[in-house]
Amino acid sequence: MKTWFITGASRGFGRIWAEAALTRGDRVATTARDHRALQDLTEAYGDRVLPLTLDVTDRSAVFDAVSRAAETFGQLDVVVNNAGYGLFGMVEEATEEQARAQLETNFFGALWVTQAALPVLRAQGSGHILQVSSIGGIGAFPTLGLYNASKWALEGLSEALSAELAPLGPKVTIVEPGPFGTDWSGDSAVHTEPIGAYEPVRQARRAGAAARTPDDPALTAGVILQLVDSEEPPLRLFLGPYPYLLAETLYRNRLATWNDWRWLAEQAAPGQEGDPA
């Protein structure tokens, strides 16, 4: 039996993974902005569910929620930072409030949960933190600049964290889903006020998204259970086949650009002046 702490468990990946864990007999502390959205889990699984009302942008409340989960269940084995949403719009269009809110939830919320859980995990000498990122955490796309920024920040934080925890026992995995049929681009999404000059870019982005059929998020449940049961889990794990195609193109292009401009980059070294060509 494992004990989980999952943020954003009212719907999407958080709900699916909570149900998968509970179905096999695990215990789950589930969080949502309104714990009433978790009532059906409590009714179905009884005291193996700890429903908690939580806004992950409230650092003090996060620490209280994690502490309550650890005290109730006696341990924490899997911590899932799933709470987040998409801010859709061009970089120029984002207001200060929208930009800060995106980072507060997607990045700082995950940071607060991670900081709150680490003393428990270090004391145990074990545990597994799942940071839910995205293919938008390895590549950036028009209309998603602020969302990309939040996930790139999470990826950098998590990679450093994994190295810091290496001698202490707890593990970190950055989960990078491809396009799935969750509520990410639905009711939970926020949209900027459009600037007309960007309409061709917006239309092209919509057309590209419409050409892809999102995968069924329920298919990820078994994958996540296998992941958390692994003795040596990976630092990064894609969900679905689509990210592989994207990643191969992204990194091939990045390497090509770095190599094409190496002649200029190396002029920043001592004794290297002028164009060697």
Active site residue 133: yes
Tell me the CA end-to-end span of the chain in Å, nearest whole number. 63
Task: Look up 2 and say whether it is catalytic.
Answer: no
Q: Which residues are CB-neighbours of 97 under 8 A, at least 6 positions away?
A: none
**Could you say which of 10, 133, 150, 158 is catalytic?**
133
- Say which of 147, 158, 162, 171 is annotated catalytic: 147
Q: Give the residue among 140, 78, 131, 79 at the shortest CA–CA distance from 107.
A: 131
Rounded-to-integer distance, Cα 257 and Cα 214, Å: 31
Q: Is 171 a catalytic residue?
A: no
Q: DSSP code of 275?
A: -
Residue 30's φ and ψ, nearest 5 degrees, are: -105, 140
What are the residues whose beta carbons fall under 8 Å from the beta carbon of 100, sequence distance 6 or more? Answer: none
Letter string b/e over residues 160-196, b meaning 16 or more CB atoms within 10 A of that residue's CB: ebbeebeeeebbbbbbbbbbbebbbeeeeeeebeeee
Of 18, 52, 31, the residue nearest 225 (C-alpha)? 18
Residue 52: closest CA among 33, 72, 67: 33
Catalytic residue of the set 2, 151, 171, 198: 151
Q: Known catalytic residues?
A: 133, 147, 151
